[in-house]
Chains A and B, each alone.
Chain A
Amino acid sequence: MSEHPVIEVDHVSKHYRLTGGARSLKAMALEMLRRKTSGVKILRALDDVSFSVFPGETLGIIGSNGAGKSTLLSLLTGTIQPTGGKIQTRGQMSSLLELGAGFHPDLSGRENVFLYGAIMGLSRKQMQERFDAIVAFAGLQEFIDQPVKHYSSGMYVRLGFAVAVEVDPQILLIDEVLAVGDSAFQKKCLDKMQEFRTQHKTMLIISHDLQTIQKVSDRILLLDQGKIIGLGEPEAMVETYGGLNRKRHAEIFQREWGTGRVRITGVEFQNGDGIETDKFMWGGALNAIVHYRAEERIEQPVFGFSIADNHGRVVHGSNTQIEGLSIPFVEGEGAVRLHLNDLPMAQGHYLFSFSSHSEDHKENYHRMDNCFPIVIECSKEFEGYAYMPSSWSIES
């Protein structure tokens, strides 16, 4: 790792100006007129990204859709230019932004292979030496002189992968191609990538297949909304990404509504030791301090809560009324405390909901559904999502 990096990305940004629809003189004119009144929207596909890749390293790139992964590879390939920052690459690069990109449907497989080789900067002679290996790898001996438009999509993709790896680049960029082809071909691809690793070649791989990418990468770069969230150990990065996804996922279930007469202004979670956290132990205690604010005097309000798993299924729910706490009235700011002891839930991610409503349930003052994610850690093994205290004995 003491060698010079083969790829250096230095504070690189890529911004797109969002213009609606096709460009035409009319659209341009309108746009120019409008610019005086409204700002142009800027999409930050990549925002101030810096990292280096070292020779022989396999760097996995993960992130949700729109995180900027493909933009990053396009920038490295050189098909688009960064808005800001600098990119330096050393060594011949072959990129698989899309398998078989640039193949012309009316040309034969053979002609397309040579065209691709020429794009990669290989001479005709070099390509002739590699040609047989390419055809063999793709398994297309009989079809190589057919126009590629007659190929099945599998054949097309196989030829694309074969030609890209057989041009023997020092750096290989792969954008989500592990997912294509049948399982036999996928295995071939993985073997080829393993071979690349042993040959001390540099690879950058984008994939949504977290298991595979964790296995083949030396390091993983986690992108989110154009920014680097983390760069490091594959396992840790996949874990971080998982957390990020769960948070996103939880947002789907989030909902806030009500008349607002008693607003829940914040919820503090504490563990049994009174320390603020969102991580709790199975069997431990959880205290939630629910802060509220009532603009006017409200008689007999009820505060409630519920816990759902990360699919939105309610595990348990209760309120002050059920538990026998009568609140004569609220006015101004205040707080109520929820005590949960011996947390029974299985390991996992849960969503807390809190609500305030009238005594007769006819008016919902404020409901915050699934707005508070927490994590439960559990050392005990059991099935289902809640533990039921149980014991066994031998029947004599």
Chain B
Amino acid sequence: MLKLVSEIWRRRELLWILVGRNLKLRYKHSVLGFFWSLLSPLLLILIYATFAAILKFNVGRPNYLQFLVIGIVIWQFLSMCLNDSLNTILGSANLVKKTAFPRIILPLSMVLANLANFLLTWIVLFLYLLFSGMHFQHIEFLAVVLLAQTALCLGLALFLSTCNVFFRDTEHILGVGTLAWFFMTPIFYPLKDQLAFLPDRLEWLAFFNPMTGVMWGYRTVLMADKIPDVSVPLWFPSISAAVCFVVLGIGLVVFQKLQSRFGDEL
């Protein structure tokens, strides 16, 4: 494990170049380029605001729009990582087949590029939340949540990028799986609606979905006391954080075990 970290550190130049390449290629041939990272969350907020107003699906819940926008932006980081992971190895087949470097740099650079993009959208998100009267609490806690979510994204990216090399079916399973996961996570409905399905003593089970804890974490920090949701004991989301790092561990083991066969399979 330590060896892996030092190996990645030794090849950090390559990592940065690949992160840069990922970001650059995302907005290739687009006039606005990087501004899309800012523009798209802005448009997203506008669309949800418009339709929430028209369809009135925020009935009875204060600050529902802020709640929803946070949820969607957070989810986008994950779903982008999942989608991109299908192509991290396959899309770089030429590099993998013809040159030697630690393969883990490919999924790592993809997740880091998405993370950079994600952090850019936060500029818009923060401004919007402040503008709409939110105030933040325990802002340092954000680092923990962000770290856990990144670990989860990287773990899944490692796993899925490997799977897709061996079974192209991964792509189809992922599409359905992501959708199901989206609805199983309190994104557009509050956590309390989900907990209502569970007996009081087993409410912690819901946090085995790591994204449930992640959502809870972000919203607790970003909406403070204006969160239109229940409060839960801190050890509930700790389960989610643990799951995030376990997923990362599994992803690492699977990836490192199978990466030597990439050259043969591509």
Contact = CB atoms under 8 A, between A and B. Distances in A.
A22 B14 contact: no
A80 to B, nearest CB: 4
A65 interface: no
Contact residues on A (Cβ < 8 Å of other chain), bracket: 20 to 34
Interface stretch (B91-99, B124-132, B140-148, B151-159): B91-99
Nearest to A27: B167
B99 A101 contact: yes
Interface in B2-47: 10-11, 13-14, 17-18, 21, 24-25, 28
A79 B167 contact: no
B95 A102 contact: yes
Interface in A79-127: 79-81, 93, 95, 97-98, 101-102, 104, 106-107, 111, 114-115, 118-119, 121-124
A106 B168 contact: no
B260 interface: yes
Contacts of B25: 104, 106-107
B168 to A, nearest CB: 6
A78 interface: yes
A25 interface: yes
Contact residues on B (Cβ < 8 Å of other chain), bracket: 20 to 34
Contacts of A23: 166-168, 265
A28 interface: yes
A16 interface: yes
Contacts of A98: 98
Contact of B101 (A22, A25, A119): A119
A24 interface: yes
Interface string B168-190: 11000000000000000000000
B95 A118 contact: no
A79 B98 contact: yes
A107 B14 contact: no
Nearest to A80: B263
B261 interface: yes
Contacts of B11: 118, 121
B202 interface: no
A169 to B, nearest CB: 12
A79 to B, nearest CB: 4
B28 A77 contact: no
Contacts of A97: 97-99
A81 B262 CA distance: 9
The DSSP consensus for interface residues of chain B is helix
Given A24-B167, A24-B168, A101 B260 contact: no
Contacts of B13: 118, 122-124
Contacts of B169: 24-25
B100 interface: yes
A123 B15 CA distance: 12
B264 interface: yes
Interface in B89-117: 92, 94-101
Contacts of B17: 114-115, 118
Given A23-B166, A74-B263, A107-B21, A95 B99 contact: yes
Residue of B92, B97, B98 most packed against chain A (CB within 10 A): B98
Interface of B: 10-11, 13-14, 17-18, 21, 24-25, 28, 92, 94-101, 166-169, 260-261, 263-265
29 contacts: A22-B168, A23-B166, A23-B265, A24-B169, A25-B169, A28-B167, A77-B99, A78-B100, A80-B260, A81-B260, A81-B261, A97-B98, A101-B97, A101-B98, A102-B92, A102-B94, A102-B98, A102-B99, A104-B21, A107-B25, A111-B21, A115-B14, A115-B17, A118-B11, A118-B13, A118-B14, A118-B17, A119-B99, A122-B13
Given A95-B99, A115-B21, A118-B18, 13 more contacts: A24-B169, A28-B167, A81-B263, A97-B98, A101-B94, A101-B95, A102-B98, A104-B25, A111-B21, A115-B14, A115-B17, A121-B11, A123-B13
Interface of A: 16, 22-25, 28, 74, 77-81, 93, 95, 97-98, 101-102, 104, 106-107, 111, 114-115, 118-119, 121-124
